[in-house]
Amino acid sequence: MNLIICESGVDVARAAADRIAREIDRHPHLVLGLPTGRTSIPLYARLAAARNEGQCRFDRVVTFNLDEFVGLPPTHPGSYRAFMARHCFEPLGIPDARVHFLNGVAADLDAECASYERQLAEIGGTDLQVLGLGANGHIGFNEPADALHARTHRVRLCQETRLANVGLFDGALDRVPTEALSMGMATILEARALVLVAQSANKREAVTAMVEGLVTPRLPASFLQLHPRVDVYLDEDAAAGLSETTRLMARRRCNQA
Ligand code: GLP
């Protein structure tokens, strides 16, 4: 893992956005995997600013989102599709026709998952997968478990994860769906490169285990250790549990970059 430790969350968003914008500049037809979550909001805002300043165009990228709640139509304000329209697709000018999203109200959810995998395969897979990190170590909605799903699947959400998403439902936990559809671990790890962003002290334990712990389904993000091209952008609070050696290596890499 290539760690980039930034002073603040603002710097995390700036550095990760620069990395993504550089990639799109080089490959305008990039296939981008995208996350939701509070950490992604300043990242998308930063990319939108780059677009408004004429530094980057997003109208030719193709996007695949990681996950969606079961039971919410795309028009529901709590859906991830609506979140992405608000924070990403509209401000970045990504045309609807280039957006791919899991449909949480599909009549046959298993067929929906299989079709998503097919669409991704047909386009040749993800070039750059952007990820957030759950405080319990989840990526997408791959929750800690004894065994993980390789492919896009239906998942029951942990209470902790539902609580983390309560902001999308006016703070009402009973309105947060109990199930979701999510890309699987192999779907995510097949991306040619990955960028993970994490900030704040509530991610500290998950970050430490992801970077320094065993590779275990009890912490799905730890599987990123197996991928050769992962850039992890952290603020000081999220990085505070890492060993001195890890931090030293990260500083060296940053200085060389
Ligand atoms: C949700 C999403 C994840 C995301 C996580 C992080 O659970 N399903 O893909 O990584 O939120 O959220 P936040 O950035 O709000 O902590």
Give Cβ neighbours of residue 74 (< 8 Å, ≥ 6 apart): 81, 82, 101, 103
Distance 256 CA to ligand 1 centre (A): 30
The protein residue whose alpha carbon is closest to atom 11 in ligand 1 is: 37
Pocket-testing residue among 39, 168, 219, ligand 1, by greatest number of atoms within 8 A of Cβ: 39
Beta bridge mates, 64? 33, 100
Q: Which atom of ligand 1 is nearest to the CA of 131?
A: 10
Distance 49 CA to ligand 1 centre (A): 22
Task: Express the helix, strand and coil content of the chain in percent, nearest 5 each.
Answer: 45, 15, 40
Q: Residue 226: how many CB atoms within 10 A of its CB?
A: 10
pLDDT given at position 205:
98
- CB of 235 within 8 A of CB of 13? no
The arrangement of strands across the sheet holding 67-69 comes to: 67-69, 179-182, 153-156
- CB of 198 within 8 A of CB of 161? no
- Pocket (CB within 6 angstroms of ligand 1): 35-39, 66-67, 132-134, 140-141, 161, 164-165
pLDDT given at position 244:
94
Distance 116 CA to ligand 1 centre (A): 20
- Among 229, 185, 238, 233, residue whose Cα is nearest residue 208: 238
- Among 8, 21, 95, 19, residue whose Cα is nearest residue 52: 21
Q: Is 190 helix (H, G, I), strand (E, B) or coil?
A: coil
Give Cβ neighbours of residue 244 (< 8 Å, ≥ 6 apart): none
pLDDT in tens, the chain (257 residues): 999 999 999 999 999 999 999 999 999 999 999 999 999 999 999 999 999 999 999 999 999 999 999 999 999 999 999 999 999 999 999 999 999 999 999 999 999 999 999 999 999 999 999 999 999 999 999 999 999 999 999 999 999 999 999 999 999 999 999 999 999 999 999 999 999 999 999 999 999 999 999 999 999 999 999 999 999 999 999 999 999 999 988 876 665 55
Q: How far apart are CA 165 and CA 177, in angstroms?
A: 10
What are residue 196's phi and psi, to 5 degrees? -115, 135
Distance 224 CA to ligand 1 centre (A): 16
Catalytic residues: 67, 136, 138, 143
Pocket-testing residue among 36, 142, 197, ligand 1, by greatest number of atoms within 8 A of Cβ: 36
The protein residue whose alpha carbon is closest to atom 10 in ligand 1 is: 132
**pLDDT per residue as tens digits for the range 27-74:** 999 999 999 999 999 999 999 999 999 999 999 999 999 999 999 999
